[in-house]
Amino acid sequence: MRKDGRAADEIRPVKIIPHFLKYAEGSALIELGETKVICSVSVEEKVPPFLKDTGMGWITAEYAMLPRATQARTPRDSVVGKKGRSYEIQRLIGRSLRAVVDLSLLGERTFWVDCDVIQADGGTRTASITGAWVALALAFRKLLAQGVLSRDPMKEALAAISCGLVAGEILLDLTYEEDSLAEVDANFVMTAGGKIVEIQAAAEKDPFSWEVFETMRRLAEQGIQKLINIQRKVLEDA
């Protein structure tokens, strides 16, 4: 039993509040245990130069953390410049969402996905992806109702979760404390159909076996299916 009372294969309590922001085309607040992220989608009527006159749309993301989202204050990116970690995470979010969207149905529009961490206790990137998918689905729903889009561009549901080897035990959905002690740390991004969008996995000290990796993958797939069921329920009720 873990410090928060969870079993090794149990995800943290999840809450997703749709339409969290008034002005965004789509938005959601996701709470994954003590981690909280506001995800919002804004639509811009133009695309990057490489997509101009192609009829294709684009999805891109920005990720940031409030100074006191963590136990010790961290300076804002706007003051010190965006950190490499923030760039890496926002590129991951953008890639993940583009993998499950038919960009040809967007028209020449850019969908900006902003993920702002207001409280961090591990899993901020996975929570961002899971919440951003809901925000994007809500934005598509709004544009379909307005007649801006003629067909739903969303091809499949998408979610993400962490997994790791901590003190010799494989755990699902790591808190910050567990992540800081992990011998192996992994993030899985997968679709409702069980297809892999991206896996980030690394040994913090000693190399790990395929058996450990396969166990993490199975746990992650189970956790992601639970998250996708929650996403679907949120959209049904929204």
Q: Which residues are annotated as a binding site?
A: 85, 123-125
Instruction: For residue 235, give the 3-state DSSP assignment.
Output: helix
Q: Rounded to whole angstroms, what are the CA distances from 179 to 53, 56, 82, 220? A: 45, 39, 23, 15
Note whether 39 and 28 are within 8 A (CB).
yes
Q: Which residues are annotated as a binding site for phosphate?
A: 85, 123-125
Candidates 230, 117, 129, 115; CA nearest to 187 is 129
Q: Among positive and negative, which fits the CA dihedral 229, 36, 113, 72?
A: negative
Position 62: which residue type? E
